[in-house]
Homo-oligomer: A and B are copies of this chain.
Amino acid sequence: MSDGRMRLGLFLQGAGHHVAGWRHPEAQSGGENLPLIRRITETAEAGKFDLVFLADGLTTGTDAHPSTVARLEPLVMLSALAMATRRIGLAATASTTYGEPFHVARVFASLDHVSGGRAAWNAVTTSYARSAANFSRGEHPPHDERYAIAEEFLHVVRGLWDSFDDGAIIQDKASGHYVRQGAIHTLDHVGKYFSVKGPLNVSRPPQGHPVVIQAGSSAPGQRLAARSADVVFTAQQTLEEGRAFTQGLKRQVREAGRSSEEVLVMPGLCPVIGSTEAEARALYAELQGGIDPAAAIRLLSDRLGHDVSGYDLDGPLPELPDSDQLQSRARLLTDLARKQQLSLRELYYLVAGARGHRIVWGTPVQVADALEEWFRAGAADGFNIMPPFFPTQFERFVDGVLPILRERGLFRSDYEGETLRENLGLPRPAGRQAGWRVTA
């Protein structure tokens, strides 16, 4: 972050982030609505956002948030969007628990090629135990084991990305050499969870390695991020917590032998924007009024990892055992409920807004102030913007908030580089040519 500017991602959800956002008269929605998602992405690129980000899940979330009912597979969606855009980063979620390192390495390397170096992988361990039933698995691995698998998975994927030296494919018609001799390497990985020989059948990505994002904020999640991630998404409610998390993570990054500037922390933020503060408050109230209480309780149960539908809505959050599925997100909510003495109803209103992420309502100036305050305090390197609904609320952010941030020297007027790494200010990983066994 040596240029003193914040990074911005757009967290794309087909039905918006507020659980009832899609019901707003201005809202358009659909996780499979390519024209809408294309329009939003083009708006983000016109605004010089660093990236658009697609979350994902491996079950239908019919009981929780409309954005999770149906959504196109993120790599398919982003490969299509790669053709409609030129500079914006394209970040997709893929699971380390229900995928194969070879496939994951390959699709992200492929997206990096198709997009000219704009791919990012949000590596997740898949929270929901019900996912196992879609993958012929008897059991969902417990939380800490999922992170141990993820660490090895990431190691294998990074190794596979280095299968080809840069410039390995020479296509020399005269000599008949399609590939430079000795430029393709096996990985020969044999570990606890994976055995992957390699090489990958895609040449080295334009970025060397696509950008790796990590979004778990539990202790194992932070350790993994400190060792392996380029960008960290997180949910933080207060400035103090945000600063403690960001500074704590940067310390772990340095302890892992990396520079703290090599990892960017980007908390989620849901901006509810009006021309006046009163208009923004009224909009937020209108959104909250659209919530179906039964659906909100299902969503809250989903985020807590425990069914809370039987409890008194105006009573306190009941005592719950730790969730093995959603450690950091569930803890964020339970801590918040205890500290602010929220009733179950207040807590589900909060979750309905942005699933535990920070919500800011106000004028464009007030939203810009909120971003600036955290950025200057070292609580964030940037933000993952989560509009309550699309497309108008996002357009108000781009048209209203970004010019103010630019005036203050806090956000770019144009892209600095060609690749996502260049725009994020992250180094291109060197290949591992030396010492590898040569197979071709």
A interface vs B, CB < 8 Å? 15, 20, 22-25, 27, 29-30, 32, 34, 57-63, 66, 68-73, 75-77, 79-80, 82-84, 98-100, 102-103, 106-107, 109-111, 113-114, 130, 133-136, 163-164, 169, 171, 173, 176, 178-179, 184, 193-203, 290, 292, 295, 439-440
Contact = CB atoms under 8 A, between A and B. Distances in A.
B71 A201 contact: yes
14 contacts: A15-B178, A22-B171, A24-B173, A30-B171, A32-B113, A34-B114, A58-B102, A62-B439, A70-B203, A73-B107, A73-B109, A75-B76, A75-B107, A133-B196
Nearest to A38: B83
B72 A113 contact: yes
A366 to B, nearest CB: 28
Given A70-B169, A82-B80, A100-B135, A176 B62 contact: no
Q: Which 6 A-B pairs have the closest CB atoms?
A: A79-B79, A133-B197, A83-B83, A76-B110, A62-B440, A66-B178
Contacts of A15: 178
Given A73-B107, A106-B73, A133-B197, A32 B176 contact: no
Contacts of A100: 98, 135-136
Contact of A76 (B114, B171, B292): B114
Nearest to A131: B102
A290 B173 CA distance: 9
A241 B273 CA distance: 70
Given A24-B173, A60-B163, A69-B201, 13 more contacts: A30-B171, A34-B114, A58-B201, A62-B184, A70-B201, A70-B203, A76-B79, A83-B83, A102-B134, A130-B197, A136-B195, A136-B196, A176-B290
A176 B23 contact: yes
A3 to B, nearest CB: 31
Contacts of A62: 179, 184, 439-440
A297 to B, nearest CB: 14
A189 B295 CA distance: 28
Given A57-B201, A70-B169, A114-B77, A195 B34 contact: no
B68 A201 contact: yes
A187 to B, nearest CB: 9
A198 to B, nearest CB: 7
B202 A73 contact: yes
A173 to B, nearest CB: 5
A30 to B, nearest CB: 7
A76 B94 CA distance: 14
Contact of A202 (B32, B106, B290): B32
Nearest to A187: B134
Nearest to A440: B62
A208 to B, nearest CB: 15
Nearest to A111: B76
A151 to B, nearest CB: 16
Contact of A60 (B23, B27, B68, B201): B201
Given A77-B114, A114-B76, A60 B200 contact: yes
A135 to B, nearest CB: 6
Contacts of A133: 195-197
Interface centre among A20, A169, A196, A201 (most CB of B within 10 A): A201
A75 B70 contact: no
A134 B198 contact: yes
Contact of A72 (B58, B130, B202): B202
B76 A107 contact: yes
A193 B27 CA distance: 44
B70 A176 contact: no
A105 to B, nearest CB: 10
A204 to B, nearest CB: 10
A229 to B, nearest CB: 23
A110 B77 contact: yes
